């Protein structure tokens, strides 16, 4: 089926949002203009973009290494930004392999993507992974912004059954873990993201936003006390749940303080209509979520964001690009050329979303530079060839002004992905001794 | 299925294969795996008690030593277990292993074929003895397992708000989806709280509080409802249908749509109806095709609808049969009526042109239809109105004789009792009054109440279900939960919501645990409309029905699959499940029935003659129609298919997982998938699967799944009956691992009915997991069996199963956790 893509779709979408609530009124939430420019220069950000079900590696991996390498078919959509990104080959998540746990590669590879740990095989009773890289960064940067991190995605979690054999859906619903036992599920509804960023008040002016937040603060006082009262009467394991609750309360209280301390000058944000819900079309949804993440970065509401274009074992089909087949079964292509061609189409569509993100970030000015210049982007999948659930040689790109682009780096065989993660965090000024199964910094990263 | 067991089964499979080579008798690993599984000894002959007792326990052990130790010895420990240290006089010591033995031997999976096995009578006698001994032991020393603090999931939250505040707005959509475990989204251990969720709780509580107390924004806002549409036809417009589009629209209507709109105030609102433009951009919703009326609306939940009169259906004839390309309308538009309804009553008949004309290319392929309905308002606000929510909240009004603070306390005491599901004390009310006082200051009484209400909705006492242990209860000891706690467990099980006043009242009097009272409450609650939650949440997940909404069958392969058919499939299965529960029918109806529920659309899909209109009705099924039971229903057959083809494996696995609770072990890691052949469809699924089973590693599981799936091959990927496809006749014959031959869906139904006790146990396991909000463990199995025995003695009636669970040890008792 041929479906012509129409520019109209986007316009219709915006119309459909109803109340066009322009957004340029974020005074209290952003530092003063002059201070803002100075602060912006020092600002660094982390963005993770994740695609599910691995990658057709023969169409992904560039044939040559080093600078000025030839782009592969799947990377083609990123061509305009080739100076801004580098391809890393050969990195592996060996901890995502079975290691005696049997089936469930999708559950493990998603839980392990940013934690580099061998997640515990369980349907629910004792979910355990590790602190994820984005959350290590968020713990540092979170002190500086209203929200420590955003976790957004495009696909609803599996509604029924298990997500991957023996693994709770908690492992496939997010990349982000604030502790080894606290997953941070993604939000897929653009309106929820919008309200998280800008509130749900009648108007988005600073005063009413502040009034709304102050009222929330008094409610939070109350619920914190209620939680403490409750926790006196319950056992240790139950206390853990209430601690989680209290931690979340504190996070929001901190945010309210931040807003109250904020300056008074406005940074002009583009008019952006309040989304009404989840758009039907994949691409409209994806673009909207990317726009919101760019807005969040621009307004400095957060500096850490992770974006899941799909969930592992995603069964999404993409009839709009001629792929009516479900993604996951296709990914077990069995070397069937037709399946490989379709799978590649999906891979390319997903890379187009990464390209759209880079486009938006590079177009958005921050001082003399662009947002992208102050951002580190990690994009990729947590499987290489999905047919074999291969956890080695993962498709990985790193983009943004904080690294040297236009090169294809080939790591030594079986180099832990975690080594790249340590090097990336170094660039952000977050120095960790180790993460997951890391064995050191990635050699060749600095170039 | 026990998680413990499930995890290890594959290992067991491989080890068993290896170990089997020790038997010279085994011809090949494949043959070994085709062990006899058909004849089940699950129906424990309890009456045989005396006969059982006559066999000394030492002989039981002797039998295990004789037939099991070739693999399950201390050295090999196949599947991680050895029977050597087991003591038949003391089952308690190795309870989990004994349960595992009972399950595998009952299913006929052990001993493996090729290995020597005891005579059938001896095996049946053994399983009967083992089940009875384990049950007796459980009764003597009850173990209700872990019960942990549990957060409401988003569905429960929305239902609780509905019942607490008489506010029937779907707030679940406002919350992020919950994680699932053990197949359900209400599992206590999995429901965490993240900052994102906390943020939503606060935001949504604000929305609810303002809406319920009548203090929503006074600003004019636009609320849009996009009428669900089938896929556009790519430059040919948006299909309209000669059908009543919703139960909320008049019987003699065609097309359009209706939605629930919450009017924040008694005020004036503009209802805008956007009709299809049928331009080359089919998704276009533009002002040229907008028609509107301005009407007064009472505050509260309103149903806003727009549709055309049915007699316009004649025009459908004008729709060209072939779609050759965009075309201008053949004639100038004529005026046609468009009705706008509020709460099912027509408020205005508008006149609109029959086709859109304008600068863009317009077409006349489809009739006029409604793309979107918007409500803009409020204008000219009269006041907050007399809504059900305000009546429910403001049970008093301050007056000369009733000081504001006294009234406020009364209001909060009433709300908190329902929200916290227990009697409240001064310690509960005082902090709410503090919030009330703060907000009352710069505003009015209602604002003060609203702030307190928001606080209640975010408080952990509302959001978490938690249970107390008796003072000084030693860790590991067991006690019956309080009647108040039982009321909460019960209402979240049957209603996915908070207890109502009637339930709380009997609980507060400590009467609820009395069997007659409990039974009466269960009966009452199942008859209540709120028990629809059991269908939506339990059946929705047990049967994978929730997936149907996201299933997008390939329109080229299934051109007659549209939103109406999908909705009809959903309704059929929901009504079917609901009927079995409420009419207290046999749970075996799920396996086979001579009735189902259809409307015209679905009846045509099934080939059932004589059903007209969009309303659903119960119909008797002719066996020649190949329907009956769940496995004849389009919903189940669709969710177990891919978008563009059926899947023998998905269907087979669905039956094993959900009907027989005998899930196949997961595929071993990194087994390369089969090359399905160059021509995909040319190599039949059967040929592909035959190739699959030629590989012994694959065969160990696929011999169990595939036959079940093959027998359903006569149903296509949207559940339509077919006798052939891709130029070949459907071959729905199948052979079970034990050699039993059967054919087609009726054959499968026969096979399943021959295992009805296994099915009832499977259903009980799923329902109990849902009721307890945790995964089942080996020590829960006696409780599962107890429910089964009870159901068997009551013609397998559904309410027997439900009541059995409610009265079971894990549901009614609690173990004080280790600290």
DSSP bridge partners of B106: none
Taken in order B460, B462, B466, B471, is the CA torsion positive or negative?
A: positive
Confidence of residue B667 (pLDDT cuts 50, 70, 90): low
Q: Is pLDDT at B234 greater than 60 in this prediction?
A: no
> Per residue in A206-218, pLDDT tens?
677 777 788 888 8
* Interface ipTM: 0.79
Distance CA A283, CA A303 (A): 24
pLDDT value of position B15: 44
Q: Is pLDDT at B211 greater than 50 in this prediction?
A: yes
Q: Which helix (H) or strand (E) holds A237?
A: helix A236-261
Residue of A202, A216, A223 with shortest CB distance to B219: A202
Give chain B positions within 8 Å (CB) of A163: 180
- Nearest CA to CA, how far is B647 from chain A (Å)? 11
pLDDT value of position B723: 92
pLDDT value of position B81: 85
> Per residue in B323-364, pLDDT tens?
444 455 666 778 889 999 999 999 999 999 887 766 555 555
Confidence of residue A27 (pLDDT cuts 50, 70, 90): very low
Greater model confidence, B12 or A96: A96
Q: Is pLDDT at A274 greater than 60 in this prediction?
A: yes
Q: Is pLDDT at B671 greater than 70 in this prediction?
A: no
Alpha helices by DSSP H, B46-119:
49-53, 57-68, 95-106
Confidence of residue B235 (pLDDT cuts 50, 70, 90): low
When pLDDT is averaged across residues B318-324 and rounded to a whole number, the result is 46
Distance CA B114, CA B120 (A): 15
Chain-chain contact of B460 with A160 (C-beta, under 8 angstroms): no
- Nearest CA to CA, how far is B49 from chain A (Å)? 38
Structure tokens at B524: 């009452």
Q: Which helix (H) or strand (E) holds B349?
A: strand B345-353
Chain-chain contact of B10 with A121 (C-beta, under 8 angstroms): no
The total number of residues written for chain A in this structure: 447
Structure tokens at B243: 């059908």
Distance CA A206, CA A204 (A): 6
Structure tokens at B434: 């503090």
3-state secondary structure of A91: strand
pLDDT value of position B423: 95
Distance CA B622, CA A140 (A): 68
Structure tokens at B83: 């029977």
Q: What is the DSSP letter of A443?
A: T
Chain-chain contact of A19 with B206 (C-beta, under 8 angstroms): no
Residue B27's CB is within 10 A of a number of other CB atoms, namely: 10
- Measured in whole angstroms, the distance separating CA B114 from the mean position of its chain's CA atoms is 41
Most confident of A298-302, A363-367, B152-156, B752-756: B152-156
pLDDT value of position B338: 95
User: Which residues make Cβ contacts (< 8 Å) with residue A178, sequence separation at least 6?
Assistant: A131, A132, A135, A138, A184, B194
**Burial grade of A307 (CB within 10 A; 0-12, 13-18, 19 or more):** buried
Q: Is pLDDT at A393 greater than 90 in this prediction?
A: yes
Chain-chain contact of B176 with A192 (C-beta, under 8 angstroms): yes
pLDDT value of position B264: 95
Q: What angle do CA B704, B641, B690 make, to 5 degrees?
A: 40
The total number of residues written for chain B in this structure: 819
When pLDDT is averaged across residues B24-44 and rounded to a whole number, the result is 36
Q: What is the DSSP letter of B181?
A: B
Greater model confidence, B232 or B699: B699
> Per residue in B465-505, pLDDT tens?
999 888 888 888 999 999 999 999 999 999 999 999 999 99
Do residues B422 and B481 make contact, with C-beta atoms less than 8 angstroms apart? no
Q: Is pLDDT at A405 greater than 70 in this prediction?
A: yes
Weakest-pLDDT range from A18-22, A358-362, B495-499, B698-702? A18-22
Q: Is pLDDT at B30 greater than 70 in this prediction?
A: no
Structure tokens at B315: 């025009």
**Burial grade of B527 (CB within 10 A; 0-12, 13-18, 19 or more):** exposed
DSSP bridge partners of B253: B309
Give chain A positions within 8 Å (CB) of B459: 222-223, 226
When pLDDT is averaged across residues A18-24 and rounded to a whole number, the result is 41
- Count the alpha carbons within 13 Å of B62 in the hemisphere toward its beta carbon: 6
Distance CA B149, CA B188 (A): 7
- Measured in whole angstroms, the distance separating CA B134 from the mean position of its chain's CA atoms is 32
Long-range contacts (CB closer than 8 Å, 24 or more residues apart) made by A435-440: A435/A115, A435/A116, A435/A130, A435/A131, A435/A133, A435/A136, A436/A95, A436/A112, A436/A115, A436/A116, A436/A117, A436/A130, A437/A94, A437/A95, A437/A116, A437/A117, A438/A116
pLDDT value of position A296: 92
Q: Is pLDDT at A5 greater than 50 in this prediction?
A: no
Distance CA A227, CA B464 (A): 10
Chain-chain contact of B196 with A151 (C-beta, under 8 angstroms): yes
> Per residue in A153-166, pLDDT tens?
999 876 555 677 78
The 3 state secondary structure assigned to B315-337 is HHHHCCCCCCCCCCCCCCCCEEE
Chain-chain contact of B196 with A6 (C-beta, under 8 angstroms): no
Q: Is pLDDT at A435 greater than 80 in this prediction?
A: yes
> Percent of chain B having pLDDT more than 90?
56
Q: Is pLDDT at B176 greater than 90 in this prediction?
A: no
pLDDT value of position B360: 57
DSSP bridge partners of B735: B741
pLDDT value of position A347: 97
Residue of B179, B206, B673 with shortest CB distance to A170: B179
Most confident of A30-34, A364-368, B283-287: A364-368
Most confident of A9-23, A345-359, B127-141, B304-318: A345-359
Do residues B185 and B541 make contact, with C-beta atoms less than 8 angstroms apart? yes
| Averaged pLDDT score across all residues of chain B | 85
Do residues A135 and A175 make contact, with C-beta atoms less than 8 angstroms apart? no
- Nearest CA to CA, how far is A372 from chain B (Å)? 25
Do residues B590 and B763 make contact, with C-beta atoms less than 8 angstroms apart? yes
When pLDDT is averaged across residues B371-389 and rounded to a whole number, the result is 95
Q: Is pLDDT at A112 greater than 70 in this prediction?
A: yes
Q: What is the DSSP letter of B535?
A: I
pLDDT value of position A407: 95
- Transcribe B716-741 into DSSP letters: -TTS-B-SEETTEE---EEE-TTS-E
Residue of B182, B643, B673 with shortest CB distance to A124: B182
Give chain A positions within 8 Å (CB) of B460: 223, 226-227, 230, 242, 245
Greater model confidence, B738 or B171: B171
Report the candidate in B644, B647, B648 with the shortest Cα–Cα distance to residue B553: B644
Residue of B185, B461, B546 with shortest CB distance to A226: B461
pLDDT value of position A22: 43
DSSP bridge partners of B772: none
**Burial grade of B719 (CB within 10 A; 0-12, 13-18, 19 or more):** buried
Give chain B positions within 8 Å (CB) of A319: 231, 552, 554-555
Give the pTM: 0.86
Report the candidate in B309, B312, B273 with the shortest Cα–Cα distance to residue B292: B273
């Amino acid at each position: 089926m041929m479906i012509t893509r129409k520019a109209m779709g986007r316009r219709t979408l915006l119309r459909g949002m109803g109340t066009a609530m322009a957004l340029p009124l974020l005074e209290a939430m952003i530092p003063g203009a002059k201070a803002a420019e100075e602060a912006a220069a020092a600002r660094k950000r982390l963005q993770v973009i994740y695609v599910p079900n691995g990658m057709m590696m023969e169409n992904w991996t560039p044939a040559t290494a080093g600078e000025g390498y030839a782009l592969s078919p799947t990377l083609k959509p990123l061509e305009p930004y080739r100076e801004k990104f580098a391809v890393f080959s050969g990195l592996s998540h060996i901890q995502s392999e079975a290691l005696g746990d049997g089936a469930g590669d999708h559950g493990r590879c998603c839980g392990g993507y940013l934690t580099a740990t061998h997640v515990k095989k369980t349907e629910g009773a004792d979910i355990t992974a590790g602190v994820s890289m984005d959350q290590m960064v968020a713990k540092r940067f979170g002190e500086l912004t209203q929200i420590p991190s955003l976790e957004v995605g495009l696909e609803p979690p599996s509604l029924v059954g298990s997500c991957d054999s023996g693994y709770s859906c908690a492992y496939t619903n997010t990349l982000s873990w604030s502790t080894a036992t606290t997953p941070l599920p993604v939000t897929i509804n653009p309106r929820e993201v919008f309200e998280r960023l800008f509130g749900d008040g009648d108007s988005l002016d600073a005063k009413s936003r502040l009034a709304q937040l102050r009222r929330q603060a008094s409610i939070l006082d109350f619920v914190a006390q209620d939680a403490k009262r409750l926790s006196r009467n319950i056992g240790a394991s139950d206390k853990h749940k209430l601690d989680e609750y209290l931690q979340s309360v504190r996070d929001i209280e901190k945010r309210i303080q931040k807003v109250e301390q904020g300056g008074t000058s406005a940074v002009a944000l583009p008019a952006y209509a309040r989304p009404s819900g989840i758009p039907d079309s994949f691409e409209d949804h994806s673009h909207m979520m990317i726009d919101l993440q760019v807005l969040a970065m621009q307004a400095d509401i957060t500096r850490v964001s992770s974006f899941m274009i799909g969930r592992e074992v995603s069964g999404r089909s993409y009839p709009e690009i001629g792929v009516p087949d479900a993604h996951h079964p296709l990914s077990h292509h069995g070397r069937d050329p037709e399946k490989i061609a379709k799978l590649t189409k999906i891979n390319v569509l997903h890379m187009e979303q990464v390209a759209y993100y880079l486009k938006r970030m590079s177009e958005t000015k921050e001082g003399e530079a662009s947002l992208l210049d102050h951002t580190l982007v990690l994009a990729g999948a947590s499987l290489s060839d999905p047919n074999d659930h291969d956890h080695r040689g993962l498709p990985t790109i790193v983009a943004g002004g904080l690294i040297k682009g236009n090169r294809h780096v080939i790591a030594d065989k079986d180099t832990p992905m975690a080594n790249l993660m340590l090097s990336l965090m170094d660039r952000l000024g977050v120095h960790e001794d180790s993460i997951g199964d890391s064995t050191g910094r990635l050699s060749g990263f600095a170039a | 299925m026990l998680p413990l067991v499930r995890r290890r089964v594959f290992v067991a499979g491989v080890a068993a294969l290896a170990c089997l080579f020790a038997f010279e008798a085994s011809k090949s690993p494949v043959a070994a795996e085709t062990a006899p599984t058909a004849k089940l000894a699950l129906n424990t002959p309890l009456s045989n008690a005396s006969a059982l007792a006559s066999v000394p326990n030492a002989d039981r052990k002797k039998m295990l030593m004789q037939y099991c130790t070739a693999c399950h010895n201390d050295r090999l420990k196949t599947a991680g277990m050895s029977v050597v240290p087991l003591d038949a006089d003391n089952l308690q010591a190795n309870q989990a292993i004994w349960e595992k033995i009972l399950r595998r031997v009952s299913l006929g999976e052990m001993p493996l074929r090729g290995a020597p096995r005891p005579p059938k009578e001896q095996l049946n006698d053994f399983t009967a003895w083992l089940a009875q001994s384990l049950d007796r032991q459980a009764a003597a020393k009850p173990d209700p397992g872990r019960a942990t603090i549990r957060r409401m999931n988003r569905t429960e939250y929305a239902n609780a708000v509905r019942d607490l505040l008489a506010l029937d707005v779907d707030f679940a959509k406002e919350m992020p989806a919950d994680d699932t475990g053990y197949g359900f989204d209400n599992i206590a251990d999995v429901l965490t709280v993240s900052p994102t969720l906390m943020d939503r709780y606060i935001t949504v509580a604000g929305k609810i509080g303002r809406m319920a107390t009548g203090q929503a924004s006074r600003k004019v806002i636009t609320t849009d409802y996009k009428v669900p549409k089938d896929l556009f036809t790519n430059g040919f417009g948006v299909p309209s249908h000669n059908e009543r589009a919703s139960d909320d629209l008049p019987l003699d209507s065609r097309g359009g749509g209706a939605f629930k709109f919450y009017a924040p105030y008694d005020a004036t609102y503009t209802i805008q109806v956007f009709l299809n433009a049928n331009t080359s951009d089919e998704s276009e919703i533009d002002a040229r095709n907008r028609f509107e009326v301005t009407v007064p609306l009472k505050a509260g939940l309103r149903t806003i609808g727009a549709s055309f009169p049915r007699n316009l259906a004649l025009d459908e004839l004008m729709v060209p049969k072939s779609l050759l390309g965009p075309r201008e309308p053949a004639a100038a538009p004529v005026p046609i009526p468009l009705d706008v309804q509020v709460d099912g009553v027509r408020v205005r008949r508008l006149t609109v042109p029959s086709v859109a004309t304008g600068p863009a290319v317009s077409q006349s392929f489809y009739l006029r239809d409604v793309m979107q309905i918007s409500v803009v308002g409020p204008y000219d606000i009269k006041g907050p109105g007399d809504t059900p929510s305000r009546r429910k909240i403001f049970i008093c009004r301050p007056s000369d004789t009733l000081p504001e603070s006294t009234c406020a306390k009364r209001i909060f005491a009433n709300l908190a009792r329902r929200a916290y599901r227990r009697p409240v004390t001064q310690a509960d009310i005082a902090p709410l009054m503090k919030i009330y006082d703060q907000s009352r200051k710069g505003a009015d009484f209602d604002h003060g109440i609203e702030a307190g209400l928001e606080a209640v909705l975010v408080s952990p006492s509302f959001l978490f279900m938690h249970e107390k242990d008796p003072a000084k209860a030693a860790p590991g000891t067991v006690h019956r939960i309080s009647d108040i706690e039982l009321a909460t467990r019960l209402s979240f099980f049957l209603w996915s919501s908070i207890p109502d006043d009637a339930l709380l009242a009997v609980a507060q009097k400590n009467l609820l645990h009395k069997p007659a009272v409990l039974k009466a409450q269960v009966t009452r609650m199942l008859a209540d409309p709120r028990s629809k939650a059991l269908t939506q949440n339990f059946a929705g997940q047990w049967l994978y029905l929730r997936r149907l909404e996201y299933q997008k069958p390939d329109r080229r392969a299934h051109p007659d699959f549209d939103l109406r058919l999908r909705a009809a499939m959903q309704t059929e299965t929901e009504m079917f499940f609901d009927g079995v529960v409420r009419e207290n029918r046999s749970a075996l109806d799920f396996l086979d029935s001579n009735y189902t529920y259809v409307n015209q659309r679905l009846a045509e899909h099934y080939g059932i003659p004589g059903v007209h209109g969009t309303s659903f009705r119960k119909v008797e099924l002719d066996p020649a129609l190949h329907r009956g039971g769940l496995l004849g229903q389009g919903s189940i057959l669709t969710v177990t298919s891919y978008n563009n083809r059926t899947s023998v494996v998905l269907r087979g696995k669905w039956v094993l997982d959900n009907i027989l609770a005998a899930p196949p072990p997961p595929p071993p890691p990194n087994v390369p998938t089969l090359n399905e052949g160059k021509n995909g469809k040319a190599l039949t699924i059967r040929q592909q699967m035959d190739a699959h089973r030629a590989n012994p590693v694959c065969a160990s599981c696929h011999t169990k799944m595939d036959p079940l799936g093959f027998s359903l091959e006569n149903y296509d990927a949207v559940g339509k009956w077919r006798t052939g496809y891709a130029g070949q006749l459907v071959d729905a014959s199948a052979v079970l691992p034990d050699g039993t031959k059967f054919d087609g869906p009726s054959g499968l139904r026969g096979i399943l009915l021959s295992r009805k006790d296994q099915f009832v146990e499977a259903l009980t396991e799923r329902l109990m997991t849902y009721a307890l909000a945790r995964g089942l463990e080996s020590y829960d199995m006696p409780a599962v069996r107890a429910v089964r025995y009870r159901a068997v003695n009551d013609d397998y009636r559904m309410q027997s199963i439900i009541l059995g669970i409610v009265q079971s040890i894990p549901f009614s008792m609690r173990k004080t956790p280790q600290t």
